[in-house]
Homo-oligomer: A and B are copies of this chain.
């Protein structure tokens, strides 16, 4: 009998099975039942200690006007499609970075520069689908923002983020906080879990397909789920191209990797390969899939793969030398590597347990010296609905309990001792959160420099925690001080639909520019057009070039004026407007809004932005600067005059 086929009976697993499942199904009822009044009228010792801690920690969470936050928080925004920068500990949203969304303020989805990024990485069949829809998706579902690593810690180069809705991965340049590459993942669907390689550097960005689909998904297979496929993908984060893929069993959920550069691993559910809820949760058991990076690279080198859409796809289904499937209870969710470099926490979701794997045992696992369950170092029972775990770098872990609406603090070494039969309780403390936490994150907590200062619990429901704003409520991202003995709630931060995850990065590791370099590749195309037209963008050239029915308008901006006060085109002309912001002062962004044409874009200091449209509407259309720039900002404008078609 293999490890996997055994009934679950390990002494400390404490899988509640059916009970937990019932509780999970009732989870929303629990969410509805609690309330802020109940929360504050709780006079239990735990609640009183928690409130006392909060009062003491309050001062630590205050960032006075004019003072700077200690950390950059990078927040995903779920179906809003953007990335947000927060300040921690103030929990103020500092800025939005457009990614998978349409942003009228910055012109993301309007400018030629952004359209190129939003379209060039799409697959041919997607281009075909979008060709009469403006060529772009306007939505995305951004879940997991993670920074690039060098030697196990953040290096300030890039952020990466997935789009579950339209199967894409995006990269954000941290020098300018703008997305520079978006690619759609071939041979896959519905990208979910995503993490960058920690060591030696990023390197790879690992990403999970969540939903199994036929490959190719061209309609030749429809109902027969046994023919659906799921792949694990390694993206080359430097080239932003897919390096290789690995075919797996089940549905992949979240992913992480080690601090040694050897393994990646994903939670994997639906061992049943079903297509409905009852079927997917029928069995008591699913897996963690471990990927041996060196073996997979070797397989690609020696040709042990099938090529699909030009990508080497290695077969990593059960029994493959490239993967191992470690049995865990039904439907595990989050997976998080501890800063100690040894432990990996696998969160039970439908089981009240977290399974702690020890990566030091993975070589033996791949050499078949141990059974898959032999990689398990601990499996503490923490409470109902464990979803994600974060770390303080001092051996403690913090696990969100969705159904219990709590965060459990527990000690990994004690959990190992308990798993080995010692009489110790690994749980140190539980704190109530409001309500139903999903992801959580600690300051620097997914790096080897985890510093144990702050924990954010991203709670899915806010209900009565804020003024009622109508049927759609915000989420509630709570900031908790974990620097002392006890956890202390410091801030309730409302967030719009719907952050899934965040990271908290020490501020010295992030050093953005305030003024663009004129050499920035972002306006390489604009520069080429200017050269062709005998115009130099940087020297304040302003001119209108007619090229058949194509018109190129070059102008510059210096507060409070555009260099061109007016220009004239003919109805039906295809007009491209290039604007270079010659102001080189911090915070002096200009904008260009063309009224009645649905055109608006930002032009940051020393940037060039361009937009192309057909001048279909005759008459006088004013353009104006929509980023306040000067006492005479409202006077910064000009006229586009469109001569009507004769007849």
Contacts and interface: CB of A to CB of B under 8 A. Distances in A.
A505 to B, nearest CB: 10
A464 B593 CA distance: 27
A616 B131 CA distance: 11
Nearest to A33: B585
A293 B190 CA distance: 58
A460 interface: yes
A641 B468 contact: no
B626 A141 contact: yes
Contacts of A211: 595, 622, 624, 637
Interface stretch (A317-325, A362-370, A560-568): A560-568
Nearest to A165: B593
A618 interface: yes
A607 B178 CA distance: 36
Total identical chains: 2
Contacts of A103: 80
Given A32-B586, A79-B591, A223-B641, A566 B94 contact: no
A152 to B, nearest CB: 24
A3 to B, nearest CB: 26
Interface string A598-613: 1110101101000000
Contacts of A602: 472, 497
A83 to B, nearest CB: 11
A597 B139 CA distance: 10
Contacts of A622: 189-190, 211, 213
A540 B300 CA distance: 51
A166 B31 CA distance: 43
Contacts of A277: 560-561, 632, 635-636
A350 B133 CA distance: 46
Interface string A58-101: 10001011101100100001111100010100001111100011
Interface stretch (A7-15, A444-452, A487-495): A487-495
Given A104-B139, A473-B586, A620-B214, A596 B403 contact: no
B218 A618 contact: yes
A251 to B, nearest CB: 9
A385 interface: yes
A411 interface: no
A624 B65 CA distance: 42
Interface centre among A110, A436, A470, A635 (most CB of B within 10 A): A470
A244 interface: no
Interface string A34-45: 001001100000
Contacts of A489: 65
B275 A639 contact: yes
Interface in A517-556: none
A434 interface: yes
Interface stretch (A255-263, A418-426, A506-514): A506-514
21 contacts: A24-B631, A28-B585, A54-B65, A66-B434, A78-B105, A79-B104, A79-B600, A80-B103, A87-B466, A96-B496, A101-B102, A138-B138, A165-B600, A167-B595, A190-B595, A213-B619, A214-B620, A219-B644, A277-B632, A460-B628, A471-B516
